[in-house]
Amino acid sequence: MPGVTGITKRLLEHWTNAEEFDNRRFFFCQLEAAETLIWLAEAPAAEKTGLDGTSDGGTFTRLCAKIATGSGKTVVMAMVIAWYVLNKVTYPQDTRFAKNVLVIAPGLTVRSRLAVLEPSNPENYYEAFPIVPSSLLDKLDVA
């Protein structure tokens, strides 16, 4: 994708490099969801002609993707969080990104399952899955 940040390019290459994975490649729908959200944030405005990204006027950017049951939504959330936070840590002046992420869960059971999105969790997805190149893992835990 032309015009993306260096971190974004590195993550996209990592996610699609078959040599990085030991039979744990991402599903097509996971890659497509992450790439779509990245495109919405990083593509030039001229490429988004005709898209109506109407918001409620709030100050927070909301990213949303519709993914089927059983397709690995938590992995996609980890991919997008890693992309978002790593870009902010690397490019602190870039207002498209932030170090803080708010994940809203519909209940305590789902909330406890999403604890794997916290880099400090011993069972975090960033290490359990090849979401982040090992050389970038330390940058992810910025809290």
pLDDT one-digit tens code per residue, 5-32: 999 999 999 998 867 666 678 889 999 9
Q: In whole angstroms, what is the distance from residue 91 CA to residue 41 CA? A: 15
- Could you give the angle at the alpha carbon of 60 between the alpha carbons of 125 and 69, nearest 5°? 40
Give which of 13, 56, 3, 55 is closest to 34, Cα–Cα.
Answer: 13
Residue 101 has pLDDT above 80, yes or no: yes
Q: What is the tens place of the pLDDT at every residue in 106-118?
A: 899 999 999 999 9
Domain boundaries, the chain: 6-44+63-133
Q: What is the pLDDT of residues 125-136, one digit of tens each?
A: 998 888 999 899
Q: Is the pLDDT of residue 143 over 60?
A: no
pTM of the model: 0.88
Closest CA to 11 of 132, 140, 139, 134: 132
User: Phi and psi of 7, rounded to 5°?
Assistant: -65, -45
How many angstroms from the chain centroid is the CA of residue 76? 6
